[in-house]
Amino acid sequence: MDKRTILLLVLEAAVACGSGQPNVLLLVVDDLRPVLGCYGDPVAVTPNIDALARDATVFTRAYAQQALCGPSRTSFLTSRRPDTTRLYDVHSYWRRHAGNFTTLPQYFRDHGYHTVSAGKIFHPGIVSNHSDDQPYSWSEAPYHPPTQAHKQDPVCLGSDGSLHTNIYCPVQVEEQPGGSLPDIQTTRHSIAWLREWAGRAPQPSQPPPQQPNPTATQQPNPTATQQPFFLAVGFHKPHIPLKFPKQFLDLYPIQSVPLAPNRGLPPGLPPVAWNPWNDLRWREDIAALNVSFPYGPMPDEYARYIRQGYYAATSYTDSLIGDLLTTLDHLFPDTIVAFIGDHGTGGGPKQTLLRHTLALPGHTQTLPTATLMPPRQALPPFLPVQGHQIPAGYHSTHRTPVTHNILQMITPQLEQVVNLCHKTLPRRVQQGGGWSTVVLVELVDLFPTLVDLAGLPALPSCPKDSRQVKVCTEGMSLTHLMHPRQGEGSKGTPNSDTRHGNSNKKTNSWDVMINELLINTAKPSQANEVSWSEEIRLLTETNINHRDHIAGEFKLWSKKTKPETRLKQQKSTKILLEVQKPLNLPQGTEKRAAFSQYPRPGATPSQHPDSDQPHTRDTTVMGYSIRTDRFRYTAWLRFDNKTYRPDWNSMIAEELYDHKIDPSEDHNVAGKWLYRGQKKAVYSMLVRGWRRAGKHS
C-alpha cells in the first residue's frame, strides 16, 4: 500500500511581516505522482518544480493515509487518520460525522493569520460542508474557478471532428467554455491576490522603492501589512480527465513516451487488492476499447497516449506553479512554501491507471491474451492532431530557484521505486544545496511541521479517543529531520539534475530509479548456487495453507514436496539467510513505520458497488497497510461499517513484499515459510499501530 506523495517546505524563512511570523503558501496538486525531473525522470519537463526542489531536504519515503482525494485531504488537513475522521469516501463531513476537529488553516487563523483558499484544497461537496469548511478555516470566501463546472463536458476534440468526454483530452484553451481552464483561472486569481495584499496598508514614511524592472506592476513592500497570510492554492491537474492545453503535447512526442514495463496482473495478488479502474471505463475513449472487467489490460497503444497525457498535464501545472512562485519570490521572498500532492495515481504498470489501489505496480509479465483481452477495436477516433507549438522557452528556461532550504516528500504508488533499507543507504545524503533522506514520514506530519516552522504553539499528540479533542495531531513534526546530523550524509548531485547523471541505464521514475539510485533485478551473480530466477520462483512456490497460516502453524514443506525441491529450497535458504533475520528497525527520532488503509465493498472487484470508491455503508473489507524500511505488509480484514472497526480475527487476504529483493512488488511472499518471522513482526507492528511506531516506542 505505497501511497507516496510530494511535499516541499521552505525551512528558513526570514520574518517579512510586522507580526513577527512568516507568511505561508500551501500548494496542493491533485493526483500528482513523481514524474518530475527532480526525482530522476528523464522524460518529465518540470523546470519550475525542479527549481523549487533544488535546495531541498528530500524525504524519499512519505506516505498518504488513503489513496482518495476526500479522505486524504481531510486527513492531512486535520492531522487525523481515516479511522479517526471516519471518512473513507466522499459522502460525509467530519465535523458532524466524527468530531469538531480543527484544521490546518483554521489553526493558523486562530493564531492571527489571514487565511485564503483558491482552487481545490478541501475536497468539494459534503466532505467540506459544501463550503470548503467555512466559516471555520478561511478569512475570505474560498475561490473556485468558474470553468470547473465544465469538468465533465464533452470538450475533447478528436480526429473525427467531434467532441467527446474522454480521459485523454488536449484542448485549445480559447475554445473551451468560458475561454479558459480551471487551473489557469486559479493561478491568475492567486497572483492578483498576492499583488493586492502587497499593496495593503503601505508605510507612508517609506519612499516607494525603485523599480529595477520597468515592466513590473508591483514591488515588494515588507511593511505592507502587520498580519501574516496563509494562502492555499490547489491545482486540479493532473487529475483525470487529462485536460490541458494541447501545446504541451509537443514536449512529449508520442513515440518517445515509454510504456510501463510491468503491464500484467502479478501472480499472488489477492483479488481484493485489485483496482479495476471503474472511473475510467465510462469515458468514451476507454469504453470504445471494449476492455474486459475486471482484469482486462489496457491496449498498449492507448496506454501510451494516457501516459503522454499525464506527462503533459503535469508540465502544464508546472508552468502555472512557475508563474505563481515568480510573483511570490518578487513580492514575498521570505514565505514558507509547502508543495504537496494529495495521494498520486497509477500509471500503467500492473494495469493500475487510477489511485484506488493498495498494490505497488510493477509486474513485468503480460498475461495470456485469450483469457484477459476480449476482441477489441482499433484505437478510437478520439486522438487529437499532434504538432502544436509549446509556449516559447518553457522547456529550456528554468525559473529562478527559491534560495531557501526546502523539505520535500515523494508521491504515492511510485512503481518500482528504490526502497532500500537503512543499512544500504545513508540516512541522509547531501544533494547540492539540499539534502535527501530515506526516513519514513506521513502526510499527517504536514500540519504539525508547518505549525513548528511558523513558530506557533506546538500541537499535542492525540489521545486514543480524540473525538472530543479539537486540536491535536496523529502525526509528528519533521523539523528535527530537516537539518543533517553531524557526520551523516555524503556529497551528491543537485535534485534537479538527477536525470542528467552519468548513468547510461535507460529508465525513469515510472520504473525503478530515483535520485540516480537503481536496482537491477537481473540475476546478481552467476556464482549463486541457485539462479536469480530460480530463487524468485522458489520464493513464490509452495504456498502455506491460509487457515494454518492464520492460526500460526507454518508447514516447512507440503506432503507433496519432492526431495529435489526440498534440496533446492535448502540451497535457496542458504542464499537468503538475511531474509530470516529479525527486523532491525531504526531507533531514535525517526518513525519505524508508516500506515495507510483503503476500503473495499467485498473480497473481489465489482462495479456495483464500486470497489474502487465504495460508500462507507457498502464497505465490508478494510485493507490496513504498514511500510517499514524493508517490507510492505497489508492485512485485508472484515470491517464493521457501523462501529468503524476491523475484525482482526477475520482475515480475507494478506500481502507481504520484500523491497530489498523485490522493489517492484512482483511476488507476494505472505504465505512463504522463509518469511514467517518477518511477517509476524510487521503484523505485530500493524496491530500495535502508529502510536507504537514513533520515535520513543
Catalytic residues: 69, 123
Contact 267, 665 (CB under 8 A): no
Could you tell me the three cell numbers for 43?
522524460
Given the DSSP bridges, would you call strands 7-10 and 336-341 parallel, antiparallel or unpaired?
antiparallel
**CA 125 to each of CA 116, 121, 479, 683: distance values in angstroms, whole numbers, following the listed order:** 18, 12, 34, 36
How many helices and strands (H and E) does the chain possess? 15, 19
Buried b vs exposed e over 216-255: b needs ≥16 C-beta within 10 Å? eebebbbebbebbbbbbbbbbbbbbbbbbbbbbbbbbeee
Maximum pairwise Cα distance, the chain: 92
Question: What span, in angstroms and rounded, lies between the C-alpha atoms of 693 and 697?
Answer: 6
Cβ neighbours of 696 (radius 10 Å): 7
Could you tell me the three cell numbers for 528?
549463486
Amino acid 369 reads T
Cβ neighbours of 57 (radius 10 Å): 25
Contact 392, 696 (CB under 8 A): no
Sole residue written with cell 514565505: 335
Contact 305, 322 (CB under 8 A): no
Question: What's 184's DSSP letter?
Answer: H
**CA 275 to each of CA 293, 297, 348, 511, 653: distance values in angstroms, whole numbers, following the listed order:** 11, 12, 12, 19, 15
Question: What span, in angstroms and rounded, lies between the C-alpha atoms of 85 and 235?
Answer: 24
Of the candidates 374, 253, 367, which has an alpha carbon nearest to the alpha carbon of residue 312?
A: 253
Calculated CA dihedral for residues 154, 160, 161, 165, nearest 10 degrees: 10
**What is the separation, in whole angstroms, between the first and last Cα of the chain?**
23
